[in-house]
Amino acid sequence: MPVGPLQANCYIVGCDQTRQAAVIDPGGDADRILMALAKEKLTLTAIIDTHGHFDHVGANQPLKSASGASLMIHALDAPMLGEMVRSASAWGLKVEQSPQPDRLLDEGDTVAVGDLQLKVLHTPGHTPGGISLYVDSAVFVGDTLFAGSIGRTDFPGGDFDTLIASIKQKLFALPDDTAVYTGHMQATTIGREKKSNPFCGLG
């Protein structure tokens, strides 16, 4: 669901067997996220930030307070959680300060959500600690890759060559039929982006 002032995509990944769930990139609108979890009778056990930009983490605090779920982010982006208020104010926006993470994620880690295993891919470039999460023929990429585009690299910590390397070496190594759930706008597939993304031949 698109959430928060910049309409970042927030995802709920739930286990059919145990009814445990992870929320990926809760950028805002905590009440809507909690209502969606309740509607599906899901118990929130993990809050995972693909990166530390305020539009993807704005609901960390209310979700953690409501659920007690573990908050997770890559170590290189963890300091950004302490800068949320300042970062949002630069856009003329207000957000609630995030708590500090309970777990720091890195390449090759897995996050168990019931019977599901979310594999962590470190995909820096948009931010130094950007991650993607791969599970069951789907990958949640935050702002690393978009349908026909890529994440911005002009923010502090961004690097174009690093981003292109992340896409080519980590994401394009996944099967072509892998669904790509992006941080903004519509979903795509790895195969489609390999064939038609205008940035994939760069770097």
Summarize pLDDT for 116-125 with one digit per residue, the tens: 999 999 999 9
pLDDT confidence bin for 203, thresholds 50/70/90: very low
Percentage of residues in the chain having pLDDT higher than 90: 87
**130: enclosing H helix or E strand:** none
- Nearest-angstrom CA–CA distance, 1 and 82: 25
Q: What average pLDDT does the chain have? A: 94
pTM of the shown model: 0.95
Contact 74, 122 (CB under 8 A): yes
pLDDT digits (tens, 9 = 90+) for 7-33: 999 999 999 999 999 999 999 999 999
Q: Give residue-wise pLDDT tens across range 42-94.
A: 999 999 999 999 899 999 999 999 999 999 999 999 999 988 777 777 777 77
Per the CB < 8 A criterion, the answer to whether 124 and 76 are in contact is yes
Whole-angstrom Cα Rg for the chain: 16
Q: Which domains are delineated in the chain?
A: 2-196 (3.60.15.10)
Q: Which residues pair with 71 in a beta bridge?
A: 47
Which pLDDT score is estimated for 191? Answer: 96
Reading the block at residue 126, the tokens are: 């948009």
